[in-house]
């Protein structure tokens, strides 16, 4: 190596303090980024939700490099919200960390204290008792908290439905077994059929379809199936199979169209049989 050559410079190693400083710089009123400065909790919320779903997608695909990047994007959302809260004098990132550490220690006495919890079921039961006590403490002085209080409205609809049902089941409001839920699904399906005689925009049709979906979530819960995950996987299967149908049509010099519905159904069945082995 000649004297004019220099050794390669190692990339800078950043840490969490650097991320917090970068976020503060982006939000600096004098020298920050105009886009970042224009954001509010409400405008950032869709990005926060999107990043959480992208983390889930990377996990489902078992893509570790992508998961690393998506977790970083999700962490940025936490830092962004905390920075905006600090600017308002509400709380800072350090208080977010303090609160979650206190919560984890409080909810795991079998790890950080002397409480004995022998299995996963006991741990979950204790976790729910602590959460209920926390909700009651937050609502001290007001009306007693209801069994369904605290289930976030922004959750995906299927996930929220399942959480509401689980909360109700803990206080005894539930079917004894899956047979009762099957009957309820059939009842709701029949009521949906009845709405076919109504105008397309009739609110009753929306109401009955919602009841049917809610009952299907209940059935999934009784069968030990995660409804949100099951529907995601169903969407992925549909996407994959329809892509295969499109590919086979292209090979024949055609494209999907209404007049080819019978052919598309035939190809769909063919793809489905091949997938099943």
List the domains of the chain with CATH numbers: 16-107 (1.10.287.1080), 146-225 (1.10.287.1080), 230-275 (no CATH)
Q: What is the pLDDT of residue 6?
A: 67
What confidence score (pLDDT) does residue 132 get?
74
| Structure confidence at residue 34 (pLDDT) | 96
Helix (H) or strand (E) holding 173: none
CB 164 within 8 A of CB 151: yes
pLDDT, tens digit (0-9, with 9 covering 90-100), for 141-195: 566 678 888 788 888 899 999 999 999 998 899 999 999 999 999 999 999 999 8
For residue 231, the surrounding DSSP H or E stretch is helix 227-251
Q: Any residues with CB less than 8 A from the CB of 131 and at least 6 apart, and which?
A: 107, 150
Show the low-confidence residues of the chain (pLDDT under 50).
none
pLDDT for the residue numbered 142 = 63
Q: What is the DSSP string of 148-197?
A: TTT--TTS-HHHHHHHHHHHHHHTT-S-SSHHHHHHHHHHHHHHHHHGGG
Express each pLDDT in 6-28 by its tens digit: 667 778 899 999 999 999 999 99
Q: What is the pLDDT of residue 248?
A: 94
C-alpha span between 192 and 270 (Å, rounded): 31
pLDDT of res. 188: 96
């Amino acid at each position: 190596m000649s004297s004019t050559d220099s050794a390669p410079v190692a990339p800078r190693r950043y840490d969490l303090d650097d991320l917090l400083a970068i976020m503060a710089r982006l939000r600096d009123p004098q020298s920050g980024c105009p886009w970042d400065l224009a954001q509010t909790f409400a405008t950032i919320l869709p990005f926060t939700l999107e990043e959480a779903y992208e983390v889930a997608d990377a996990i489902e695909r078992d893509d570790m490099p992508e998961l690393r990047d998506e977790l970083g994007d999700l962490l940025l959302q936490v830092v962004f919200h905390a920075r905006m809260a600090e600017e308002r004098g509400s709380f800072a990132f350090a208080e977010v960390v303090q609160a979650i550490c206190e919560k984890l220690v409080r909810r795991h006495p079998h790890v950080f204290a002397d409480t004995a919890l022998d299995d996963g079921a006991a741990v979950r039961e204790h976790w729910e008792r602590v959460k209920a006590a926390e909700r009651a403490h937050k609502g001290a002085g007001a009306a007693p908290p209801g069994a369904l209080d605290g289930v976030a409205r922004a959750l995906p609809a299927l996930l929220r439905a399942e959480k509401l049902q689980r909360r109700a089941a803990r206080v005894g409001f539930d079917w004894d077994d899956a047979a009762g839920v099957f009957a309820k699904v059939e009842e709701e399906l029949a009521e949906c059929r009845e709405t076919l005689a109504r105008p397309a925009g009739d609110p009753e049709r929306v109401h009955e379809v919602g009841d049917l979906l809610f009952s299907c979530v209940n059935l999934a819960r009784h069968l030990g199936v995660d409804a949100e995950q099951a529907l995601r996987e169903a969407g992925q299967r549909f996407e994959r199979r329809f892509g295969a149908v499109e590919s086979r049509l292209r090979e024949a010099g055609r494209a999907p169209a209404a007049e080819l519905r019978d052919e598309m159904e035939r190809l769909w069945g063919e793809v489905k049989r091949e997938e099943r082995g």
